[in-house]
Every structure is written in C-alpha cells, then in structure tokens.
Structure 1
Amino acid sequence: MVSRIGKEVELSPVELASQTAKKVEINLASGTPDPKVMPIKEIKEAYNEVIEEYGSKVLFYPGAGGQEELINEIKNYLPLLGLSEGKDKIIVTSGAQHAIELLSKYFLENDTIAVENPTFIETFMAMKLRSNVVLPISLDSNGIVVDELENLLKIINIKFLYVIPNCHNPAGVNLCEERRKRLVELAELHDFYILEDDPYRPIAGDVPKPIKYFDKFGRVIYISSFSKIIAPGLRVGFILANEEIAEKISLIEQLDFSTSTINQYVVSRLLRKGIVKERMNYLYNHYSNKMKILIESLQDVGFTDFNKPSCGFFLLLDLKKDSWKVFLEAVKMGLSFVPAKPFFLRGGDTMARLSISVASEEDIKKGVRILKSAWNNI
C-alpha cells in the first residue's frame, strides 16, 4: 500500500559506507568536506551579526525562491563561477540535492532521461524514481562521451541529461570545453534540457567555463551549492534557470519551505564579507595536496587502474576484484571506502570510490596500505 517510490527507494551505498566509517579507524568513504578547514569562527560571527542586525526577521518563514539579500549576493558571486544572471533567474534551495529533487518533481513523470555512467547515486535516485527509462552514457578522461550520446539521440528522445562537469563524483574527471559546447548544441537540436550539477567548481581551480556559459537557448539548468566551500550542514544552494522554469521551481520549493531563513542570511553575510572568495584557491590547494598523496600511495602499492582526478574529493579505482568483497575485508582491518557498483547503470563490479575529504595525510597513506592488504586477502 505504498507508492512506486516507497517500494523502490533503498539505502545509498554512500550512506552505508559512511555509517560503517564511524566504526573504523580510517575513513576514505565520506564526501563531507574536511572539518579541519570549515570556517567555524566566521560562521559563528555571521550568525551573531545577522541576529543583531535583523532580529526576529531571520527566524521567519523563508520566502518562496529565496531571501532577496542572498539572491543579490549570489548575483555578485556568479562571475567567480564564470557566469552571470543574464535573462535567467536564481532560486535558492537546500543544497544541490534538494535542487535536483525539485527539478525531478517538475520535469519527470515516467520519462526517458540520460545520465553519465557512472553517476552520483544520491542525486541520481531522485531522477530514477520518477523516470521510466534511464540511458547510461560512458565517461572517459575528458568527461561524458558525447559521440555516444549523439548516436543514441538519433533513435530515442530524452527529457533531460544529467551531468557533473567538474571534479566528477565518483570518477574525478573534468568535462573538456569542446564537449561542453557540443552538449548545448545537441540540447537545442534534440529538444532536451541539461541539468548541470556543479557543486565542486568553487574548489576546482582552473576548469573550463560552465556548460551554462555556452547556453543561448535556455536549455541548461545550472545547479550549485555552498556545501563544499563553506559547510554542508547549512544546506544552502541554488538553481540558475530560464524564467519559466525558475518560477515553477520557486512554487514547488514553497511547498516544503525547507531552506532555512537564518542560514540564508548567514551565507549572504559570508559572501558579502568576501570569505567565500578568499577560500576558493586555499581549498583547491588543500584538497589537491591530499589527492596527490592518495595517487602516490596507490601507485606505491601497485594500484594503477584509475584516471588521475583533476580536482575534488574522489578517485575511482578499478580493483580488478569484486569491490564489495574487498570492502568487507577492509572494514575488518579498520578501513571504509565506497564500493562503487551502484554508481553504474552498467558494469562497475570491481570499482571503488576513494575519498580524501576527511582523512588526514597519514590516514590516506595508512588506508591505502590496508586496502592493499584487504585486496591480497581476497
């Protein structure tokens, strides 16, 4: 006596691995930003400042689509992401995953969509549960294989394409500029939308312009978040979309009122004070250094079957053995990572997602040694 969604929803492998990580010594599973570099002091000051300045106003119900103060600050922030508002409209959401949930509600009713293979399972589930057919499109070191998508579009129509262009979760790759431009052309030619999920750009360093930058027809819906650059618990992100879509999403967002009013004021204050801008290069260097250690540690023990991540938190490793069996053995030895098969619509049985986000440099080195030992035991 439940809905289709109620029947099909299941525990995410990311959540499972994260729960396991609480019970082991070394966590190479979590996608949470490094707590050691979260701006706790600045966040605390921002809370005090907005309460002092606005009083009870910051504790009212949030307005539909976001607080005006935050929307104005996001407009000023967009050029740092390679964008401008133009004719589009900003809608504030409770992070990127809430944005994708809202967009799935708006667009999908047993439709056909396309996603990268692999893709991020936790955002993908919101789309999958409302879709009829999901087409997996391969990834390589330059991102989604556009030629494969183009061939499929000759024989089947899709409602939208979901893509993670920067610091891909879980693959770690960046989409090259030539393919970004081609995706926009295909969207107009074949009448579909592109959901550009781009939460890592603020910490990604030098990457190509967003797909949205090349969009002349309102075909690209840009999704971003302040989770990686500030803190995920604030639950603040945004959508940049054409006015018609944005207005509808605003009405759907109003149904749950989930984006905290006071947190919107806090993020607005952090943007206005330049704290977000100041953190961009610092965090890119911080995570790049940790990723370098992971790559070198893997190579030292003989693991070489991976694309070197360009940025972000994640490396996708082909273990050449059943990753679930390796995971269970690793947990016994004090290590958690994410067996990555659920990120794939096809294949992926031997893939493991390793994360450098919360682990220290020494824990990364030790974790890789444990991973090798667990691998040897299988």
Structure 2
Amino acid sequence: MPFTTPFADRLNNVETSAIRELFKLLGKPGIISFAGGFPDSALFDVDGIREAVNAALTEEAGAALQYGATEGYQPLREQLAAFMASKGNQGVGANDLIVTTGSQQALDLLGKTLVSPGDKVIVEGPTFLATIQCFRLYGADLVTAPVDGDGVQTDALERLIVEHKPKFIYLIPTFGNPSGAMLSLERRKRVLELAVQHQVLVVEDDPYGDLYFGEAPPPSLLALSAQVPGSRDHLVHCGSLSKVLSPGLRVGWMVGPAELLAKATMCKQFSDAHTSTFAQATAAQYLKAGRMPATLAKVRAVYAERAAAMGDALRSDLGDAISFVQPQGGLFVWARLTGAGGKTADGGQLAKRAIDQGVAFVPGAPFYTNHPDHATLRLSFATVGVDRIREGVARLKAAL
C-alpha cells in the first residue's frame, strides 16, 4: 500500500540535492568525474590516522568508546583551539567552541537555533547547495548577495542589510564552494564593520581555508575580529577536518557567542547527543602528534598542480567559449560558458552532453537561491590526476 501519512510542511521548501542526483549517472564505465566536492582519498594520511586510532585505544579507551559531553571531547576541544591559534585565531579557548558532526551539522544547528519561518538570511550567490537546503528547511527567506573574484561585494551587501534586516549573513570567505572566490582583506574588514554597525550576525564557514596554493589567504574573519572592536560578538566561525584530514571522521566545530553555543548544544542533544567520541579521540590524537602541517603541505602541492592543469586545459581546449578565475586554493573551478563561436551557453545542457562524452561536472544553477545563472558550472579537480584532467577537458570540448 502507498504511504499515506502527510509529510511536514517544511519539506515543501526543499528538494533532493541536484548533485546527489547527478551521482546516480556516474556509473558509466570510464567516466571522468569533475562533479564531486570530495578530497582525494589517495591523499589521506592513513598511517597517521591508524597511529591516532591506536593511541586513542591505548591511552584513553574508556573515554573514546563511551558516551561523551555534547559540547565535545575536551582533549579535542583543546587541540582544535591550539590548531586555530596556529592560524592566527588568538583568544579562542577550548570552551569557546563546540564540536559538531562535520561543519554541516553546525549549519543545521544554526538553522534550528536562529531561523523562524519567514526570517531573512543573506547568502552569497552562488553558495553551498546544502546551506540553501538547510536554511530553507527551517523556513528562511534567502536573499542573495552578489559575488565576484574578490568574494562578496560589500557595497551590495550593505544595501541588502539595510533593506532586509536579516537574522544573519552566511559567507564562505575563503575559496568558497562553488565560487572558489577569496574575499579580499579589505572586504573582510568591511564585513566585520558592517556586522557591528548594523548589529547583524555573520556566519563564517571555513572548510577550505587551509587548502591554499602559494601564499596563505588573508586571516579569517575570526582572526581579524580582534582588529574591529565589537565584531567578535556578532561572529560565528565554522571549521572542519573533512577536507584536510578525513570526511569519514565527521569532525567539525563551531565558535560563537556563549549564548548561541549554549542553545546549539541543547539542540544537538536532541539530535545525536554528541559527535562520535571515538572519532573525536582519534582526531585529538592526530592533532596532538603534530602531523597536520606535513599533511597540509602535501595536499596543497597536489591540489595546486591539478588546479593549474585544469586551468591550462580549459584555456587551451575551450578558449573563449568559457571564462573563469584561476583558483588560488580550495577544490573547485567556477566557470561560465560564453556561447562564443556558437557553442552552448547552458550549463545544464552541457552537463547532459558531457555525460555522453564520458565526463561529468555540476551545472551551476542549483547553487543560486533565485535568478540562477544557467551558463555557470562547477568543476572539481581534487580527485583526478593531471593526465585524466587533460583528457576530461578534451571530452568536455567535444561535448560543447
């Protein structure tokens, strides 16, 4: 018999992820995928993680295998605070953050604690697809702030703040997904000034900030908040080990005002009680062992080479039929089809043709809350070697 119980009204605001649906098409043998937003599993520090697991079971087996505090495993909170301090985030202590099951749970907790149906929330256009789905699930009315190669356009952001008086602003300032954009230092400071001036909360999502090529990016909003008096009170910072260590550990964290963390902790108790203590103990031991700097150096070098190869191939093979800003870090090239030479300018149409040619990517339209740019597309270079990147771009050319 069919299922007849009505679903919650909130589900009317969301739909299945376009990216997850695309993955169903990737079973074709020999396909080259630029679609996923995954780190390369071949780069995982398996030996280091194995040692961390063994250390957790040797030194703290009882704690690692037992229920734990909702706020997080204290040794991990201490290690995360030290990790953040090493990147310039001074003044963040272990008790200033809570551990989440990946940074995506932090977004869900923000939705639960802050969003009432009809609340305005400003996001970048384009932005992380799961963010759109998460905040809409709780009834948010999403407002889009435009993005260019230097990140969110702060003049436009200020106008939107004045017009909509949002509950909060959600940004990925460093190598955003999908845009790959890096918010300039000047704009970072301006965002913090706007937070204070308009008394509005800013959420900084930072899963990619450690994956830079060449020079390090500007300091995080959290690190810069010391230079803008009062801004720390209007700032949430979400971090993750998924892109730099292992997504399977599902370890993220959230820094924010004490009152917000208390409410988020309460809501987390309702959902999973606590993030896996075994995963937390493993992550704590890994950070304690001091292996992260070498791991980051390795993955940065590999991703930088792949990003350069993809940029070179796109310029060589697709020429003026595509435009993009060469990424300075992260996992993605965000591009726009120009239609030059009579080639297609529709990312969705090209995605279907590309599958037939044996290459996959994600069309850009789903990353917009409204008025999508159908000419855009997201290409990930993270999990594909240089030779396969060149072949995949050649296949993309054949699909144009």
Q: TM-score range by the shorter chain?
A: over 0.9
- Say which of 287, 299, 308 aligns to 1:271: 287
For 1:144 and 1:297, locate their aligned partners in 2 and report how far apart those are by CA, in whole Å.
28
Tell whether 2:267 aligns with 1:257. Answer: no
Match of 2:347 among 296, 309, 323: 323
Structure 2 residue ranges without an equivalent (≥5): 1-5, 339-344
User: Match for 2:65 among 47, 54, 59?
Assistant: 59
Deviates more, 1:323-332 or 1:121-130: 121-130
In structure 2, give the amino acid aligned to 1:21. L
Aligned sequence identity (%) = 29
**Given that residues 65 and 251 in structure 1 are in contact (C-alpha distance below 8 angstroms), is that contact kept between their aligned partners in structure 2?**
no
1:78 aligns with 2:93: no
The reply to whether residue 220 of structure 1 matches residue 235 of structure 2 is yes
Note if 1:239 corresponds to 2:254.
Answer: yes
2-side partners of 1:154 and 1:11: how far apart? Answer: 33
Deviation at 1:259, TM superposition (A): 1.4
Take 1:156 and 1:226, find their aligned partners in 2: how far apart are those partners? 34
Contact 1:165/1:174 (<8 A) preserved? yes
> Which whole-Å CA distance do the structure 2 matches of 1:82 and 1:23 have between them?
45
Contact 2:176 2:182 in 1 (8 A): yes
**Equivalent in the alignment of 2:217:** 207
Q: Does residue 166 of the first structure (1) align with residue 191 of the second (2)?
A: no
Rounded to whole Å, the distance in 2 between the matches of 1:106 and 1:297 is: 45
Please give the residue correspondences for 1:91-240 in structure 2 after superposition, counting only pairs within 5 Å: 91-110=98-117, 111-205=119-213, 206-215=216-225, 216-217=229-230, 218-240=233-255
Deviations 1:139-159 (A, max 9, x none): 011100010011222322111
Matches within 5 A, 1:326-365: 326-344=350-368, 345-365=370-390
Q: TM-score, normalised by structure 1?
A: 0.95
Match of 1:2 among 4, 7, 15: 7
Per-residue deviation, 1:258:
5.0
In the alignment of these two chains, the number of paired residues is 375
- Between 9-18 and 174-183, report the one with greater CA deviation: 9-18
Unaligned ranges ≥5, structure 1: none
Query: Contact 1:113/1:131 (CA < 8 Å) preserved in 2?
Result: no
Aligned to 1:13: 18
| Partner in structure 1 of residue 341 of structure 2 | none
Say which SS state the counterpart of residue 20 (structure 1) adopts: coil
Q: After superposition, what is the alpha-carbon deviation per residue over 1:73-117, rounded to whole angstroms, capped at 9, x for unaligned?
A: 111111233202447711000111111111111110121010000
Shift in CA distance, 81/125, structure 1 to aligned 2, threshold 3 Å:
farther
* Contact preservation (8 Å) 1:136, 1:346: no
SS of match in other structure, 1:201: coil
Q: Mark the CA change 1:258 to 1:57 in structure 2 (over 3 Å): closer, same or farther.
A: closer
- Shift of residue 351 of structure 1? 0.9
> Which residue identity lines up with residue 138 of structure 1 in the other structure?
P
Shift of residue 187, structure 1, vs aligned partner: 1.1
1:272, 1:186 → 2: CA distance? 37
**TM-score w.r.t. length of structure 2:** 0.90
Q: Structure 1 residue 29 and structure 2 residue 39: aligned? A: no
Q: Is 1:311 aligned to 2:329, yes or no?
A: yes
Cα distance between partner residues in 1 of 2:262 and 2:90: 18
> CA RMSD of the aligned region, Å?
1.6
SS of the equivalent of 1:196 reads: strand
The 1:124–1:258 alpha-carbon spacing in structure 2 relative to 1, beyond 3 Å, is: farther
Bigger mean CA deviation after superposition, 280-289 or 105-114: 280-289
Deviation at 1:13?
A: 1.8
